[in-house]
């Protein structure tokens, strides 16, 4: 890598860091993100005492995914956070599946097919298709909600779809095409912070159900979840809050 390429990379990282500093200081970040992190920390302290190693690993990876997604959003890359969050949804569903039906472990590992795929790639052959058909309850409120989120993240932020391409503002200037590599729209950044927090709230609730409500015994967990719900509601436009209040009364 020549000196100009190195300087270009450093410049990209500096701009990314500048965006992160501004966005991390926003009202919505300070109100929404710390409580979700607190809920993960409270959950971690609970599971370390009584839960199998695979579930702990998946919970820790989901926490890492949350922090990584938030850092990408704050740095001006909200679409790229989608693939990280989608994988977190998968991990939460796997944790639930392994507890729901012990045979799901073998369905998930699927050793023969996975090893066959690696062998085929090594031999420059077409690998066998991999289906991870886990046994799960249907319908299920949390799984269904997360499944919907998983599909939307796939269409917008994981695969090269037309929806993915539409999020990037390419500009034609004379004979050259330009692209701003950072999202600077504060409303768009805040929207993605809210979506990330809401998705991870569902993930945390699914882990709690997986562990038969073990988190409910933690005062820190209960307080963090309450803060997430109260704070999230405060960002809903007043006219929508009024409509929901009228509908529930």
User: Where are the chain's structural domains?
Assistant: 3-248
Please write the tens of the pLDDT for every residue from 90-133.
Answer: 999 999 999 999 999 999 998 888 888 999 889 999 988 877 78
0.75 exceeded by pTM: yes
Alpha-carbon gap, residue 223 to 155, rounded angstroms: 34
- Is the pLDDT score of 249 beyond 60? no
User: Residue range 138-145: average pLDDT?
Assistant: 96
Find the range with the poorest average confidence among 6-10, 102-106, 132-136: 6-10
Please write the tens of the pLDDT for every residue from 168-198.
Answer: 888 988 888 999 899 999 999 999 999 999 9
- Enter the DSSP assignment of 157: I
The interaxial angle of helices 219-234 and 27-50, nearest 10 deg, is: 150
Name the band, by pLDDT with cuts 50, 70 and 90, for residue 234: low
SS3 assignment for 158-202? HCCCHHHHHCCCEEEECCEEEECCCCCCHHHHHHHHHHHHHHHHH
32 burial class (0-12, 13-18, 19+ CB within 10 angstroms)?
Answer: buried
SS3 content of the chain, % helix, strand, coil (to 5): 75, 5, 20
């Amino acid at each position: 890598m020549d000196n100009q390429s190195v300087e270009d990379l450093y410049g990209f990282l500096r701009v990314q860091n500048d965006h992160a500093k501004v966005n991390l200081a926003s009202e919505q970040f300070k109100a929404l993100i710390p409580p979700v992190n607190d809920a993960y920390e409270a959950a971690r302290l609970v599971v370390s005492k009584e839960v199998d190693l695979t579930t702990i690993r998946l919970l820790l990876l989901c926490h890492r995914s949350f922090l990584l997604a938030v850092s990408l959003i704050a740095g001006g890359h909200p679409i790229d956070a989608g693939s990280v969050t989608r994988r977190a949804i998968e991990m939460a569903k796997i944790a639930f599946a392994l507890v729901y039906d012990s045979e799901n472990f073998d369905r998930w590992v699927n050793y023969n097919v996975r090893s066959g795929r690696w062998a085929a790639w090594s031999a420059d052959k077409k690998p066998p298709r991999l289906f991870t058909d886990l046994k799960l309850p249907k319908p299920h409120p949390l799984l269904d909600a997360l499944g919907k989120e998983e599909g939307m993240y796939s269409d917008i932020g994981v695969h090269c779809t037309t929806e993915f391409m539409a999020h990037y503002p390419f500009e034609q200037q004379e004979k050259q095409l330009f692209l701003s590599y950072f999202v600077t729209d504060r409303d768009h950044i805040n929207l993605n912070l809210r979506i990330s927090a809401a998705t991870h709230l569902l993930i945390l609730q699914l882990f709690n159900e997986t562990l038969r409500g073990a988190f409910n015994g933690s005062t820190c967990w209960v307080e963090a979840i309450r803060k997430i719900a109260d704070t999230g509601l405060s960002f809903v436009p007043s006219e929508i809050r009024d409509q929901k209040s009228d509908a529930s009364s």
